[in-house]
């Protein structure tokens, strides 16, 4: 079904987004996360399509939902015992209207084409909101680095890059890290890229080591950025972070630096979690202890409670969102915060929920939170600090510069304030005050759509 009304009538067909979503599901079977991400955007675009009929006439929405390129490849490697292993690699180059494809690589057993497409689709709008010239893409593999030796991770990364390198370049596609891909993995990937191409092309990967082209704020950027976005939402309501009870899910990079920034702003952070359960620390999370366990020892969150003392308790399984709070910052993975959790948060008086992870709240949860008047920061806006700082790392690499931490953090803070204000003002402009989901989707879409129109039918 066409978005545009037929038989000479102007405007947008009333059932366009349901029909377009149904067609998208038909053409992309078995990819529920991608279907979910697309529907969340499609449901909010009617106002902008009505105001800008040229977008509908040029089939911008249909074109933006179809990746420009989808790459799937075999990754053979050898483990420490000499056994040959075979994994699958992915890179979805979704949209390059604004610049080279930009988005992380995820190494986790759950990775499949649908997961990568959902992440890449979200990345289009997230990258657009930064105001920087970066397109949207994502990639990864069903390889899980947990429990693997450094040598095994190196051999896998070298095999992965041996295929992927031909699709990359600082003017083409610039990956970064995501779940399962940290500084170690980026180092091995960059080394293999350099070995194959005979080019020291720093801008081809971001999240690099500080001694060889990395940005001093990149590690902290996603967590810091989400807290800064949340702070702006609270300010709009005449409130502040200082003294707030905060719950955080996850215990990886995003969660750790979310906790650090929230504590710096005076918040009392009570929780963190991993796949086994969560901890509640009435004294507030001891960040150095958490970092020692998760970043150095690569241990489980249950060990935190054992070593912290009487103020902390570990809850196996369950929901971290059962803990009463003023601000909730989901920072683990997609669809971790469902309808029941949203009801519990609302019942316990939560004031703001902001997504540090990609799509951690289900559609039902988002609806419940918004209906209850909770300030809700969607991931494509709230966690854009990571990719924004990656683009700043690209800028430093291009100029052969190394910024101070203070300069990089200052640039990040300015970008996050601008993203917040853009989302807020766009929602106001389309008669949807306070709806950050609609504001983020429309603002991100408009910038990409204008570029696609300007560049012709490609």
- pLDDT above 90 covers a percentage of the chain that reads 95
Task: Name 88's bridge partners.
Answer: 74
Look at residues 241, 259, 238, 439 and name the one whose alpha carbon lies nearest to residue 356: 259
Q: Could you tell me the two tokens for 286?
A: 């001891």
Q: What is the pLDDT of residue 10?
A: 45
Q: How many CA within 13 A on the CB side of residue 68? A: 19
Tell me what the mean pLDDT of segment 222-238 comes to.
Answer: 97
Q: What pLDDT, in 10s, does the model give residues 344-360?
A: 999 999 999 999 999 99
Q: Residue 316: in which H helix or E strand, if any?
A: strand 312-316
For 64, the 3-state DSSP assignment is helix
DSSP code of residue 58 = T
Helices (H) and strands (E) in the chain, counts: 18, 13
Tokens 């067909």: give the residue: 13
Q: Could you tell me the two tokens for 319?
A: 């929901």
Mean pLDDT of the chain: 95
pLDDT at 9 over 80: no
The domain 69-201 is placed in CATH, from the list 3.40.50.10470, 3.40.50.450, 3.40.50.10860, 3.40.47.10, at 3.40.50.10860
pLDDT at 6 over 50: no
Query: Beta strand 271-274 with 268-269: parallel, antiparallel or unpaired?
Result: unpaired
Q: What is the pLDDT of residue 298?
A: 85
Q: What pLDDT, in 10s, does the model give residues 269-295?
A: 999 999 999 999 999 999 999 999 998
Q: Which residue ranges make up each domain of the chain?
A: 16-64, 69-201, 220-382
Task: Confirm if 254 and 356 have CB atoms less than 8 A apart.
Answer: yes
pLDDT at 5 over 70: no
Give the pLDDT band (50/70/90) at residue 267. very high
Look at residues 183, 174, 259 and name the one whose alpha carbon lies nearest to residue 219: 183
Tell me what the mean pLDDT of segment 156-174 comes to.
Answer: 98
Tell me what the mean pLDDT of segment 310-323 comes to.
Answer: 96
* Given 102, 117, 138, 294, the catalytic residue: 138
Q: What pLDDT, in 10s, does the model give residues 351-391?
A: 999 999 999 999 999 999 999 999 999 999 999 999 999 99
Q: What is the pLDDT of residue 3?
A: 61
- 393 CA to centre of own chain: 17
Q: Cα–Cα distance between 116 and 123 in angstroms, integer?
A: 10
Q: What is the pLDDT of residue 1?
A: 45
pLDDT at 8 over 50: no
pLDDT at 7 over 50: no
CATH 3.40.50.720, domain 220-382, yes or no: yes
Q: What pLDDT, in 10s, does the model give residues 19-67?
A: 999 999 999 999 999 999 999 999 999 999 999 999 999 999 999 999 9
Q: Cα–Cα distance between 419 and 430 in angstroms, integer?
A: 17
Instruction: Output the pTM of the full model.
Output: 0.92
Give the pLDDT band (50/70/90) at residue 15. confident
Q: What is the pLDDT of residue 397?
A: 94
Q: What pLDDT, in 10s, does the model give residues 383-415?
A: 999 999 999 999 999 999 999 999 999 999 999
pLDDT at 233 over 80: yes
Q: Cα–Cα distance between 284 and 383 in angstroms, integer?
A: 23
Q: What is the pLDDT of residue 11?
A: 55
- Establish whether 102 is a catalytic residue: no
Tell me what the mean pLDDT of segment 314-328 comes to.
Answer: 96
Give the pLDDT band (50/70/90) at residue 332. very high
Q: How many CA within 13 A on the CB side of residue 91? A: 24
Q: Residue 277: in which H helix or E strand, if any?
A: strand 277-281
Angle at 89 between CA 86 and CA 93, to 5 degrees: 170
| Backbone angles phi and psi of 102, in degrees to 5 | -140, 130
Q: What pLDDT, in 10s, does the model give residues 111-153?
A: 999 999 999 999 999 999 999 999 999 999 999 998 999 999 9
Q: What pLDDT, in 10s, does the model give residues 67-105?
A: 999 999 999 999 999 999 999 999 999 999 999 999 999
Q: Could you tell me the two tokens for 198?
A: 């005979």
Tell me if 69-201 shares its fold with 220-382.
yes
């Amino acid at each position: 079904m066409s978005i545009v009304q037929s038989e000479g009538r102007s405007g947008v067909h009333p059932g366009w987004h349901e029909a377009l979503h149904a067609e998208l599901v038909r053409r992309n079977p078995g990819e529920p996360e991608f279907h979910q991400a697309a529907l969340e955007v499609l449901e909010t675009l009617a106002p902008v399509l009505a105001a800008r009929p040229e977008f509908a006439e040029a089939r911008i929405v249909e074109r933006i939902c179809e990746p420009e390129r989808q790459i799937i490849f075999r990754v053979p490697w050898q483990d420490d015992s000499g056994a040959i292993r075979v994994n699958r690699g992915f890179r979805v180059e979704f949209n390059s209207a604004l610049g080279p494809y930009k988005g992380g690589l995820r190494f986790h057993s759950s990775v499949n084409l649908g997961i990568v497409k959902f992440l890449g689709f979200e990345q289009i709008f997230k990258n657009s909101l930064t105001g920087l010239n970066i397109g949207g893409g994502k990639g990864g593999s069903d390889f899980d680095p947990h429990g693997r030796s450094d040598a095994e991770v190196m051999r896998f990364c070298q095999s992965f890059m041996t295929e992927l390198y031909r699709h990359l370049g600082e003017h083409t596609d610039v990956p970064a890290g995501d779940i399962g891909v940290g500084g170690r993995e980026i180092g091995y990937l960059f080394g293999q890229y350099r070995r194959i191409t005979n080019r020291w092309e720093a801008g081809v990967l971001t999240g690099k080591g500080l001694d060889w082209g990395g940005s001093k704020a990149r590690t902290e950027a996603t967590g810091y950025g989400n807290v800064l976005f949340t702070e702006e939402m609270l300010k709009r309501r005449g409130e502040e972070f200082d003294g707030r009870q905060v719950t955080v899910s996850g215990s990886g990079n995003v969660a750790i630096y979310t906790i650090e920034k929230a504590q710096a702003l005076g918040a009392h952070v009570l929780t963190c979690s991993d796949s086994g359960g969560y901890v509640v620390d009435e004294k507030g999370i001891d960040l150095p202890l958490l970092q020692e366990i998760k970043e150095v020892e690569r241990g489980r969150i249950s060990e935190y409670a054992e070593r912290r003392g009487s103020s902390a308790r570990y809850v196996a399984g369950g929901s971290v969102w059962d803990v009463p709070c003023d601000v909730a910052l989901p920072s683990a993975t997609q669809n971790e915060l469902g309808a029941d959790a949203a009801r519990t948060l609302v019942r316990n008086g939560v004031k703001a929920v902001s997504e540090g992870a990609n799509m951690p709240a289900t559609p039902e949860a988002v609806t419940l939170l918004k209906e209850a008047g909770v300030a809700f920061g969607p991931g494509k806006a709230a966690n854009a600090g990571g990719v924004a700082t990656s683009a700043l790392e690209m800028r430093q690499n291009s100029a052969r510069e190394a910024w101070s931490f203070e300069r990089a953090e200052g640039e990040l803070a300015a970008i996050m304030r601008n993203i917040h204000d853009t989302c807020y003002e766009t929602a106001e402009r389309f008669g949807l005050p306070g709806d950050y989901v609609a504001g983020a989707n429309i603002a991100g879409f408009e910038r990409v759509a204008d570029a696609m129109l300007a560049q012709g039918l490609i």
